[in-house]
Amino acid sequence: MRAGRTPSQTVGPFFEFALPWPGGPFVVAEGAPGAIRVHGRLFDGAGEPVPDGLIETWQASPAGTRGFGRSSTGRDGGFAIVTLKPTSVADAAGALHAPHLAVSVFARGLLKRAVTRVYFSDEEAANRSDPVLSAIPDDAARATLIARLEGGSYRLDIHLQGPRETVFFDV
């Protein structure tokens, strides 16, 4: 008998001793040539920080790095990943996707991961022709995926729920 797909379950509240590791948030070393910092806070539907979340990022483009970043959230819901800015990449149909990180959000209370992307505010032209951003007609909703360049690092808060709920994908 062939089993079907294995269902998801929550990461729970007790992963801190098992999943994060000190180098996890550093796809490249801080200060490496071209390194950028992408950071933000994770919030629930009441606007409260989520202090027991796990953010994972993946990017296909940078050669010579593991491409994967993992940051648990702190008491203030804060997370940060240090990486190289990805380049634009074409999908199988030839459409060019603007530079972005693929993002998974895990937390107690999330029975399955929430999936999104982080784009960059200083890639306006590429963002305008991106097929995912273009599929979001509402300006405010689209803005939930675009990290703003502030003081030398990129900032994007993730809202699991509420009036500023981040656009999540069906994967």
Partner 1 sequence: MSADRRQAGGVDPPYLHADYRSTALRAPLRPPLRIVYGPSELSGPSGAALLAGREQGVGADLTRQHAGEPLGERIIVHGRVLDARHRPLPDTLVEVWQANAAGRYAHVVDQHPAPLDPNFTGAGAFLTDAEGRYRFVTIKPGAYPWRNHPNAWRPAHIHFSVFGRSFSQRLITQMYFPGDPLLAYDPVFRSIPSPAARESLVSVFDPTHTAPEWALAYRFDITLGGREGRQGPEGREERT
Contacting partner 1 within 24-63 (CB under 8 A):
24, 44-46, 48, 50, 52, 56, 58-61
Compute the least distance from the CB of residue 36 to partner 1, in Å.
16
Count of residues near partner 1 by CB under 8 A:
71
148 three-class SS: strand
Of 28-36, 77-85, 104-112, 149-157: span binding partner 1 (CB under 8 A): 104-112
3-class DSSP assignment, residue 95: coil
**Alpha-carbon distance values, 171 to 47, 97, 103, 115 (Å):** 25, 17, 12, 7
User: Among residues 84 and 101, whose Cβ is nearest to partner 1?
Assistant: 101
Please give the Cα distance from 72 to 52 (Å, whole number): 7
- For partner 1, the closer of residues 115 and 155 by Cβ is 115
Interaction between residue 2 and partner 1 (CB under 8 A): yes
Instruction: Please list every residue from 3 through 22 that binds partner 1, using CB under 8 A.
Output: 3-19, 21-22
Q: Answer yes or no: are the C-beta atoms of 158 and 166 closer than 8 Å.
A: yes
Least Cβ distance, residue 156 to partner 1 (angstroms): 16
Residue 132 Cβ vs partner 1, minimum distance, rounded to whole Å: 5
**Among residues 31, 34, 75, 93, the one that binds partner 1 under rule CB under 8 A:** 93
Please classify residue 30 by burial: count the beta carbons closer than 10 Å to its beta carbon, then call 0-12 exposed, 13-18 middle and 19+ buried.
exposed
Neighbouring-strand partners of residue 49: 43
Alpha-carbon distance of 128 to 69, in angstroms, equals 26
Nearer to partner 1, 18 or 125 (CB): 18
Cα distance between residue 131 and residue 58, in whole Å: 19
**Interacting residues with partner 1 between 109 and 148 (CB under 8 A):** 109-114, 117, 131-132, 135-136
Q: Which of 75, 92, 125, 152 binds partner 1 (CB under 8 A)?
A: 92
